[in-house]
Amino acid sequence: MSAKPVRWMMTGAGKPIVAMEFEIGKLGPDEVLVEIAGCGVCHTDLGYYYDGVRTKHALPLTLGHEISGRVIDAGADVLSYIDRAVIIPAVIPCGHCDVCLRGKATICPNQKMPGNDIHGGFATHIIVPARGLCVVDENRLAAAGIELADLSVIADAVTTPYQAVVQAGVTTGDLVVVNGVGGVGGYAAQIAAALGGIVIAIDLSDEKLAAMKGQGASLSLNAKQMTPRDIKAAIQSFAKERGLRQTEWIIFECSGTRAGQETAFSLLNHGATLAVVGFTMDKVEVRLSNLMAYHARAIGNWGCPPDLYPDVLELVLNGRVKVTSFIEKHPLSEINHVFEVAHAGALKRRAVLVPAS
């Protein structure tokens, strides 16, 4: 390693993120050193930086949890990972506690989230446990015309909705509503369609809705121009025309806004499933008794177990889920500007920050 590794550090809410050199130190026996290819900018990062959402690790801290790169060094027990291209899970469970052993890794009390529990991916290098790393077949990557940096978004923007879709039980012929199709929601729509769902996309942006044409959405609705009652009526009409069930809709709330969450809740019908994927600090007013009256269910979704990552990577490598057309790459040195533009809602695609080579 010729130049010293650098982290771009958040020192306080809204304060300029600054580059700081750091020492690698000795790796633990189960740790790897990853040279970062790219790190995606997530709504969660903006929440930490702008909205007062607290990180578990005290500031200063390097944000970023959507990370891909190459292992360039490893501890004694995980030497086989050296020189492997990898995706780092956005949430790394310990693998040996009670909940992990019972298949509930996403609620592991010992989990490590880069950019929250430990230093994250807005850096040239990162040290992480080897557990859960998703190894990438670079021959297939090249054949698909995808760069390693492009895969960074798999670590949250793609795997999180994948778990949501699997957890909700989407199968062939299900009517699926995705509320908010920018970022995570766009991938939720693609994944649900890939698994056989008939997808209805809802958003406030005609541009985002247009991007989903041919990418999984069978119907697009602009919520800015409709009331929740109008939206539900339009979906009912679509279901009738297509011969789909008027019950058991599967609704993914991906907007991460109060209005979006209230709209999504209003779409409940008999036997429906509401999967909350987006996050907001705002409080929402809903009538919980609708869950009882409709015999519906509402489920949350935190990250994705690392053991599901290979399935998601396969969807991307075989072209059933597109990533490159939904991202835009920027130099890591432009992090402050990119955060500002992302926070203003001015980005057309999900930003991936790439360290200088």
**DSSP class of residue 158?**
T
Mean pLDDT of 82-98: 97
pLDDT band for 281, please (50, 70, 90 cuts): confident
Predicted pLDDT at 241 = 97
Using CA atoms, how far residue 146 sits from 83, 97, 322, in Å, is 18, 36, 10
Q: What is the pLDDT of residues 293-340, one digit of tens each?
A: 999 999 999 999 999 999 999 999 999 999 999 999 999 999 999 999
pLDDT band for 48, please (50, 70, 90 cuts): very high
Using CB atoms within 10 A of its CB, is residue 357 exposed (0-12), middle (13-18) or buried (19+)? exposed
Q: Which of 257, 129, 280 is nearest to 203 (CA)?
A: 257
pLDDT band for 183, please (50, 70, 90 cuts): confident
Q: Are 66 and 89 in contact (CB under 8 A)?
A: no
Q: What is the pLDDT of residues 139-164, one digit of tens each?
A: 999 999 999 999 999 999 999 999 99
pLDDT higher than threshold 70 for residue 74? yes
Predicted pLDDT at 1 = 56
Q: Which CATH architecture has domain 6-156+304-354?
A: Alpha-Beta Complex (3.90)
**DSSP class of residue 320?**
S
Q: What is the pLDDT of residues 217-272, one digit of tens each?
A: 999 999 998 999 999 999 999 999 999 999 999 999 999 999 999 999 999 999 99
Half-sphere exposure of 352 (CA within 13 A, CB side): 28
Estimate to the nearest angstrom the gap between the alpha carbon of 279 and the chain centroid: 11
d(CA 202, CA 208): 9
Between 43 and 37, the more confident residue is: 37
Predicted pLDDT at 2 = 53
Q: What is the pLDDT of residues 13-28, one digit of tens each?
A: 999 999 999 999 999 9
Predicted pLDDT at 357 = 63
pLDDT higher than threshold 80 for residue 131? yes
d(CA 180, CA 209): 9
Using CA atoms, how far residue 10 sits from 14, 89, 344, in Å, is 8, 21, 19
pLDDT band for 73, please (50, 70, 90 cuts): very high
Q: What is the pLDDT of residues 160-174, one digit of tens each?
A: 999 999 999 999 999
Amino acid code (one letter) for 246:
Q
CATH number belonging to the domain at 159-300, selected among 3.30.420.10, 3.40.50.720, 3.40.50.620, 3.40.50.970? 3.40.50.720
Residues in the chain: 357
For the chain, give every domain's residue range: 6-156+304-354, 159-300
Above pLDDT 70, what percent of the chain? 99
Q: Are 327 and 153 in contact (CB under 8 A)?
A: yes
Above pLDDT 90, what percent of the chain? 93
Predicted pLDDT at 125 = 98
